[in-house]
Structures are given as structure tokens and as C-alpha cells.
Amino acid sequence: RKEVEQDPGPFNVPEGATVAFNCTYSNSASQSFFWYRQDCRKEPKLLMSVYSSGNEDGRFTAQLNRASQYISLLIRDSKLSDSATYLCVVNMRNQGGKLIFGQGTELSVKP
């Protein structure tokens, strides 16, 4: 089992759709969780951290389910500019706190 796994992509959705990404992790002691966004030919950029109680930033909502060991990202009212690859990141306490990336899920929002 991979340490961090994401939904396979790509996701092709129309503008205005709601889309959800899931990410599972193997280390139950993990404490830090993040979502990143990567545009083509650019470096990954932090989208949002994921807190235990869940958190929202505009159209984006992140959730953490410790019991099932997964995190999710919900994008509401998707825009063309949301087209990118979305990556989840989890810290690995059994590896000195090293942050591990999932393989990423590509999102394409069409007009």
C-alpha cells in the first residue's frame, strides 16, 4: 500500500460543477495534512492546510477523517481557472516528520 494515495484522474467537469478529491494515508500517527495545486510547468503551491475540525476557504472545503485515514477537498462552483493538478501531502511521523506527496489528481474544468 502506498503511503499516500489519491483518486486517479483526470476529472473533467463543466464550469459550475462541484468536484471532490479524496486522499488516503497509511500512517495513523500522521498529524499534518495539506492540499497543493500545481499548474502546468509551475511549481506546486500550497492551497490550504487541513485541520481536524475541517476548514473552508471560499469555494474550497477541506476535511479530515482520522478514523478512516483520509482527507478530502471539495471545490464548489468550479471555474476554468481551477484546472490544475491537486496534490495531497501528509507528514510521516515514522520517518522523522517527512512530508509525503500523493501522486496528484488532474482536474480539467470545461466551459
CB-based contact 111:80 (threshold 8 Å): yes
Residue from 4, 37, 104, 109 touching other proteins (CB under 8 A): that is 104
Site track 83-102 with other proteins (rule: CB under 8 A), x = hit: ----x-x-x---xxxxxxx-
Residue from 31, 52, 65, 94 touching other proteins (CB under 8 A): that is 31
CA distance 74 to 16: 13
- Closest distance between other proteins and the C-beta of residue 95, in Å? 6
Question: Of 12-20, 27-35, 52-60, 65-73, which segment contacts other proteins by CB under 8 A?
Answer: 27-35
Distances (CA, A) of 91 to 26, 39, 80, 104: 11, 23, 31, 16
The residues, ordered by sequence, that sit 6+ positions from 94 with a Cβ below 8 Å of its Cβ are: 27, 29
- Closest distance between other proteins and the C-beta of residue 32, in Å? 5
**Bond before 111 cis per omega within 30 degrees:** no
Residues touching other proteins, count (CB under 8 A): 20
**What residues line the site for other proteins (CB under 8 A)?**
31-32, 34, 43-46, 49, 87, 89, 91, 95-101, 103-104
